[in-house]
A and B are shown apart, each in its own frame.
Chain A
């Protein structure tokens, strides 16, 4: 049986035997040389992602840091005036940083409960038929282009918010946060779900054997057991929300002021970069300032990702015995 199965799966076994025969005629040395060459190529392409990361850091910093010959780092980070195109331009990005923080925190407040709930439901509660339909739906939500969500925020959510709360514009922190939450939910849900699956079955069975209901098992065994994975998921979801551009560019409002309420307009960092890069001449102070914002944004998301990476390695569930 297993012989048959293999025979079927291997494409043209006769051709393969011939190929190996040919390879033998090449002589052992040439074959080994080719093998070593292939290994070298694969190792190099494996390291390519590291090279790209290094290049991103190099070019981002090279273009961004030259701003600081004119503007001090603390003025850049903590001044509240962002008037990059004035005659005497001000490059203070505190309002942009706080704009990013505001939409990220708000979006997480919506996305974390919904995302984790979706993961728990899919992993432990849903009937497998329901699951078969819901899981692709969550994946499709992840694949919706951000410009489409931004568009929906503009034409659907903004007028609604305006009408409900009688505010001058629906393009504000609340609207952007809701749409960002929709982008973060699939990230949080799918990574959390994987974490929930990795909790050893024995633990759940032990809980049931003690007479716990399914819900009690979920909240006291399954979720605590997957907590590091869920933590990773939440951090990566927040990182995605913070780095997302089109949604905040189209519907956060765009005013470079520190937001004080959810109905305030904001200009998160990605929105500022995307909106202004078209007008900033290459090599100008403004151009370098936008790269410097990119450096700040990059470092913030990098911090999120490194914490997530550390979490997922450090607290990896290795089996029932390690609990």
Chain B
């Protein structure tokens, strides 16, 4: 009956063994994630306190809190969003509503896909050469936000395009049949319907921007500053960079371990919180979808 000549039982057994191998592989991946999270939570929870979250570092970084780093990361992340959201949504509208298959579309797709694959440290170099040096912004929130914004642009485009494509064609046809122009259709029908999906995508972009270190190392981040930023041309402390510096470059690496764990925990809570929120919103949306 079958080519291998093995009995039905043997084939079933082989299948069972193979499936268990797959389960072990997946279990390994999931276990490493939860192991890491659990470990960092247990180690970091002790360091978290109201003072840790609201005070500046003291005694050459060995005590005190990370408030300036939290504020810095919020500034950079929101700045990146201000860059990426309008550009990303408009590019997604082009891709889903206006583009026709052809050379231009292939070029645009090629551009987006390769932009997504550019290493983050290369974005850092680019930001340094263009924004910091060429435009003369210096090491600043502005330069860092622009760099991060371009970095997350492909993420935002991808998510927004998916959201736009999920709006059924009947919506477009109904609007056009009423005599609306394409622009009116986009603005009054398609965008409102796709808005929740676009928001989900932008939350994912926020999470990505908040966790990146390499792009801001040469463009925005500083190890230590006494004052909070009061203009977009100030350099700032940032959570990921703070972790890196405390863990590798300080003179009191062992002494600041609790601070390092605490900072890592705050960073993870921020990044994973944003991602988890996006995942939950997306699941809800899929269930509630009315069309």
Q: Interface SS of chain A: helix, strand, loop or mixed?
A: helix
Within 8 A of B (CB), among A84-117: 113-114, 117
Are B213 and A23 neighbours in the complex by a CB distance under 8 Å? no
Kindly list chain A residues whose C-beta atoms are within 8 Å of the C-beta of B192: 11
Are B29 and A215 neighbours in the complex by a CB distance under 8 Å? no
- The minimal Cβ–Cβ distance linking A150 to chain B, given in whole angstroms, is 7
A155 to B260, CA, bound (A): 10
Given contacts A42-B90, A152-B40, contact A302 B117 (CB under 8 A): yes
Q: B18-35 interface mask toward A, CB cutoff 8 Å, 1 = contact, 0 = none?
A: 110111011011101110
Given contacts A46-B98, A140-B276, contact A60 B153 (CB under 8 A): no
Given contacts A145-B212, A147-B211, contact A274 B124 (CB under 8 A): yes
A6 to B39, CA, bound (A): 49
Determine whether B159 belongs to the interface, using a CB cutoff of 8 Å to chain A: no
Of A145, A182, A185, A290, the contact of B267 (CB 8 Å cutoff) = A145
Within 8 A of B (CB), among A156-204: 156, 182, 185, 189
A50 to B108, CA, bound (A): 6
Determine whether B15 belongs to the interface, using a CB cutoff of 8 Å to chain A: yes
Please report the total number of B residues contacting A with Cβ < 8 Å. 103
Are B114 and A302 neighbours in the complex by a CB distance under 8 Å? yes
Determine whether A128 belongs to the interface, using a CB cutoff of 8 Å to chain B: no
Stretch at the interface among B47-55, B57-65, B170-178, B228-236: B170-178
Q: How many A residues are at the interface, by size bracket? A: 35 or more
Residues of B within 8 A of A (CB): 1-2, 11-12, 14-15, 18-19, 21-23, 25-26, 28-30, 32-34, 36, 39-40, 87, 90-91, 93-95, 97-99, 104, 107-115, 117-126, 128-130, 133-134, 150, 153-154, 157, 170-171, 174, 178-184, 186, 188-189, 192-193, 204, 207-208, 210-214, 217-218, 240-241, 243-244, 247-248, 257, 260, 264, 267-268, 271-272, 275-276, 279, 290-291
List 29 A-B pairs, Cβ < 8 Å.
Answer: A9-B290, A19-B188, A39-B183, A42-B91, A42-B97, A46-B90, A47-B107, A49-B108, A49-B115, A50-B108, A52-B111, A62-B129, A117-B26, A118-B25, A122-B26, A140-B272, A140-B279, A145-B213, A146-B120, A146-B212, A148-B36, A148-B267, A152-B36, A155-B260, A243-B121, A245-B119, A274-B217, A278-B217, A294-B125
